[in-house]
Structure 1
Amino acid sequence: MIVASLTAGGFALAVGPGASGAPGTAPAPDFSLTVSPARLVIQPGRIGDPQRFRVVNGGRSPVDIVVTRASFTADADGNVIYDQDAPHSAAGWLHVSPTAFRLGPGERRRVTVRVDPPAEPENGEHRAALLFTAPAGPGTGNIRLNRAIGTPVYVTVPGPVDTSVRVGGLRASDFAISGPVEFGATVENVGTVRRDFFGREGLKVEVNGREIPFPDFTVLRGTSRDVTVRWTDPPLMCVCHAKVSVTGSDGTSSRSATVVVFPLHLFVMLLSVSGAFYLLALWARRRCQARLLGIVREARDPD
């Protein structure tokens, strides 16, 4: 199993497949750590319930684990940025037990998380990350890396929820000679909870009666995401009208763009071939005329 990870602040990615004892499979690596669930979403009615993560050592060596809390946000490309001053943080609300433990090869451990929000928290969703870190052991090298898996935790407090989002723009080339045609969109979250654009609820660009889905992505509260998709099979020629729409608490936000697809290279090739045929026909005509003139002259002057 591959676990989605958040890494930053000096932590290196440490994700690997679980060990398998089936015949013919590759042996387990020295280090393999998995944490599930990959992310935790806590709804208002579940804030008082203890939440649990499962940590599994799928490697061949024992590993020491330290669990810490961190505030985070994300940039326009979706990269996670750990920042202790990140807005809408729930890092101070989380209480983790245990915070440090050792796992032998093949062992697993449950880690319990309890949420204790302040008496009057701001409405909407708050977030934090739990970092499951395997500190670098002693060694003789000059460089040692901590290995870590990050799991986001989203906590929505009781109260009104605003799911408003806006499309900041739809980008596309004005002219293309063929596919693929790339579309780019900026989605801004102006509500109070994150927005997941997954599967059937994903973002799509409507063009020429078709829907082209963007890859799955999440827009955190108070952030924007830039996403792109390629239209791999546009028609040979068209004036294509594209549109992207998103719907939230404040209604629907849309942006549109127009792309002209014209096979200029084929047109140039057709002109070249037509020109070649024209020159060939002209040459054949002149040659035929010359032969006819020769025959006429011979007929007039047989001697």
Structure 2
Amino acid sequence: MVSPTRLIVGPEHLDQAQTFQVTNRGRLPVDIVVNKASFTMGQDGKMVLDEDAPYSAADWIEVSPADFHLAPGQGRPVIVRIDPPEQPDNGEHQVAVLFVAPPGSETGADNIKLNRAIGTPIYVTVPGPVDTSVRIGGLRSSAFAMSGPVEFGVTVDNPGTVHRDFFGSDGLNVEVNGEKVPFPDFTVLRGTSRDITVRWTDPPLMCICHAKVSLSGSAGVSSRSATLVIFPFHLAGLLLGMVIALYLLVRLGRRRYQAHLLGAAKSLRDSGEDGPRRDGEA
């Protein structure tokens, strides 16, 4: 286990040593090797190690110790020192510190060796102007749905110079039908885009719903909207079928009742013609 899971270092803390605490939570001893790597982020939010990644701070940091041994339950700090160049590009630069447990010399029955690794990002912002611009690249949803849940997707572009976090109360929401549906927590690195989805689990039975997503940054507010029609055709079809069935049953009942009345009237007429005559009748 490595704590914290990431570090955000502002200009005022560049000359201060940063610390990760590494703990062996397993039942066997483990050897740890500490590496550093440039990285970027995919549209799904996964860290992508790339030695040619832009805005890299991999050459700015030194870690100590670079390797060590941990007994079960043991922990130790790893110190990170940051030394940016004299005239770095404005904004934020990032580097991943990789804590790797290489495979041992012994192999299992299947002769499989595994590297266990934890990557922890460090975001380093240098002195100078900062641009927090962010924009919505698009809001996606179905134009029509018969029922919930309904899925909304959004693309968030970060043309600014620092990463943007959307966590908790500062997270991103889609406003629809008078309520806010929160997207999962996510981060967008500078110069990258993220695709995020959320499921609206309790939409109304029917509506013409107007959805909107808005974000604010240095360049102002960016927003996108979409319209969704929810109509339960399957329920309407079932109800219509029930109404038609009831109508047919009523109509059939009326026909049977009318036939019964006609039959009874005919029986009365027939019994009147064939019955005994009274005195005086010809």
TM-score category, normalised to shorter length: over 0.9
Matches within 5 A, 1:79-158: 79-141=46-108, 142-158=111-127
Deviations 1:168-200 (A, max 9, x none): 111111111111111111101110000000001
Distance 1:35 1:87 in 2: 26
**Structure 1 match to 2:23:** 56
Distance 1:233 1:140 in 2: 51
Distance 1:247 1:297 in 2: 86
CA RMSD of aligned residues (A): 1.0
Deviations 1:197-254 (A, max 9, x none): 0001000000111111001000111111111111111111110000000000000000
Matches within 5 A, 1:1-303: 34-141=1-108, 142-302=111-271, 303=274
Deviation at 1:119, TM superposition (A): 1.1
In structure 1, the gaps of 5 or more residues are: 1-33
Distance 2:238 2:152 in 1: 28
Distance 1:262 1:59 in 2: 54
- Could you tell me the percent identity over the aligned residues? 65
In structure 2, the gaps of 5 or more residues are: 275-282
2:103/2:114 contact within 8 Å kept:
yes
**AA aligned opposite 2:17:** P
Deviation at 1:265, TM superposition (A): 1.2
**AA aligned opposite 1:233:** D
SS at 2:246 equivalent: helix
Deviation at 1:103, TM superposition (A): 1.4
Structure 1 residue ranges (4+ consecutive) displaced by more than 4 angstroms after TM superposition: none
Distance 2:24 2:39 in 1: 26
**AA aligned opposite 1:269:** L
Distance 2:28 2:228 in 1: 56
Distance 1:156 1:146 in 2: 31
Distance 1:213 1:284 in 2: 55
**AA aligned opposite 1:166:** R
Distance 2:11 2:107 in 1: 50
Is 143-152 or 190-199 further displaced after alignment? Answer: 143-152
Aligned residues: 270
**AA aligned opposite 1:143:** I
TM-score norm. by structure 1 comes to 0.87
Distance 2:129 2:204 in 1: 46
Deviations 1:144-190 (A, max 9, x none): 11111111000000001011111011111111111111111110111
SS at 1:128 equivalent: strand
Distance 1:198 1:44 in 2: 23
Distance 1:140 1:187 in 2: 45
2:173/2:182 contact within 8 Å kept:
yes
2:107/2:113 contact within 8 Å kept:
no
Larger Rg: 2
Deviation at 1:87, TM superposition (A): 0.8
